[in-house]
Chain A
């Protein structure tokens, strides 16, 4: 009786510990990556473990969508350069495609080749679930990145960006601006991306929820289409709708180029301009004071996936966790980049 109670308590403690550690990792992952990018050997981690030391050579297959967007291009190049840092990774990269059936055949090839692990950013999570499950059954460690499979059995570990969290970060930062600048009932506007996408809805929901925390709401909302042109048109109309705006959050820095052009054309800069995704353009604007901040949607998710895949294949754990296994799920933080920390994040900025 008392033994069961004790073991239950220990189990709970371990669970809480693991959760805290995952949270710490989520924060740590994004904020440490710039240092890792600069080819730092990760002295911090090797003090705790020998994870980064060359181990058994593992074959990792990577497949992602066609890089038709600056962010996706950054995803691919970050994954590749991460793999190149390790001597014990034999990295095989399948050509990017937007066709799920093509991607399925890439994964089938990986299975036939008998790779040790697969890092997969699916064009469509549901469509790739079956072949990923097959890979798992064949004993291959599958790491699912960004777009989730529809089954728990299709991946050993899932690495996700946090769209809702992006909205929360933007909203919380907006609340902070309202307080610091004493804006009272501020006029807050939102320029969303493609409105029918779940990720856009998540971002907007997070933004709304965070603003509600400080008694603010979204006064004006327009949607663009993630393209420069649609961003310019949406922003031009938005500026006509309100003579005075205090804060504008634009979901996507790719369309942000157009949004910025509209601001310049109308000669308006009375508001705080917050962006999203974290392109190099946005970071340069932040540096030169033309933009207040941008919320990062980490383009290093696949790179994190590669690292985790290596650990899984070498049967190592995450050094910063007490638990000896790689976690099932890692949700990355969406930090705010502003003038204070832009230098630190600049290497992460992707050319869009």
Chain B
């Protein structure tokens, strides 16, 4: 019991596939206990990934030198990671909860288009740019709610429901935008989201806040523990008194919200809303989540791993561009990196798991 609760307490990704956690995180447990579990749990599980990222940075340093290490370049990598990062954190929750969502890219496209129509922009100009943000968040959440209701209460396969949403949402985005690029011209909106705070772009700060919130929710709240339980063994979770259907629906709404936020960030980054936004995001997000150590079958996963997974891909693209290498080579390296990172991580995790 003490081992289990402390894993919930400090491990970034406790394996609860069989256990149903009902114990509230024990207040006690001892500092030493915590340090050991931290090493063997969270850090251990992500050690392979950290090594992979460090290796990548080393390659960047050797091949591109100061250009790679410059603060400006680091901020560029983080800024480009921020949009897909927010989506991937939402995706981590859905996958841990035993689901999958193929519609994230399409939802982002729809939310960005909806929030940047002339009507919305005019309203934002008359009142406040927050109108655009709430529009995007509401569109995202609504799409997530539809996904969640159909999956949890309609008893349809998540793969099929979100595949349908992927087609429908992008289609609707094309209809609304008339397949045109809607340039965002609401000055205060752009100034706020494209600006920086103490030299750090606001997009990066949003990404960091979402990551921290995700970590806290997953590891420190009943919601997080329920997510792990629902994904690990839904039947056991139901018997333990968790409203599994409601919880699953909430996970998709959460991811929908993340997509809405990502749409806002993408509109700021590109100064435009279009139906082509978020192309292939579903695969990029799932790839980042999986190399981050989250089980595709649910029940186990880490936010830190996902964040590193996202960073690995963006750093890779950055290093390739700095070295002027072509896109085909980059695709090959991307594939290789997925395999190597997962292999490394499995080895490390196996070694560090006690017993």
Contacts and interface: CB of A to CB of B under 8 A. Distances in A.
B179 A220 contact: no
A317 interface: no
Contacts of A261: 269-272
B289 to A, nearest CB: 20
A116 interface: no
Contacts of B238: none
A80 interface: no
Contacts, number: 93
A223 B76 contact: no
Nearest to A232: B270
Size bracket of the A interface: 35 or more
Q: Among B70, B180, B270, B324, which residue has the most Cβ atoms of chain A within 10 A?
A: B270
B230 to A, nearest CB: 33
A221 B324 contact: yes
B39 to A, nearest CB: 35
A232 B184 CA distance: 15
Contacts of A239: 76
Nearest to A67: B179
Given A229-B266, A237-B322, A281-B183, A257 B276 contact: no
B328 interface: yes
A237 B80 contact: yes
16 contacts: A70-B179, A73-B179, A223-B327, A226-B276, A227-B274, A228-B272, A229-B278, A233-B317, A237-B318, A239-B76, A240-B321, A257-B181, A257-B271, A258-B272, A261-B270, A351-B180
A26 interface: no
Contacts of B79: 236
B17 interface: no
Interface in B167-201: 174, 178-181, 183, 194
B181 A254 contact: yes
Contact of B67 (A73, A222, A241, A264): A241
B235 interface: no
A2 interface: no
A205 interface: no
Nearest to B184: A261
Contact of A229 (B183, B279, B318): B279
Does more than half of chain B's interface fall in helix, strand or loop, or is it mixed?
helix
A225 interface: yes
Contacts of A226: 276
Interface in B46-75: 64, 67, 70, 72-73
Given A228-B272, A237-B322, 4 more contacts: A70-B181, A227-B277, A232-B269, A265-B269
A69 interface: yes
Q: Among A67, A219, A227, A281, which residue has the most Cβ atoms of chain B within 10 A?
A: A227
**What 8 pairs across the A-B complex have the smallest Cβ distances?**
A237-B321, A227-B276, A261-B271, A223-B327, A240-B73, A258-B270, A228-B270, A232-B270
Nearest to A226: B276
A327 B49 CA distance: 63
Contacts of A254: 181
Interface in A222-273: 222-223, 225-234, 236-241, 254, 257-258, 260-261, 264-266
Interface in B272-302: 272, 274, 276-279
B126 interface: no
Contacts of A234: 321
A223 B320 CA distance: 11
Q: Among B72, B174, B272, which residue has the most Cβ atoms of chain A within 10 A?
A: B272
B270 A229 contact: yes
B328 A230 contact: no
A229 B80 contact: no
Interface in B312-342: 317-318, 321-322, 324, 326-328
Contacts of B183: 257, 281
A200 to B, nearest CB: 10
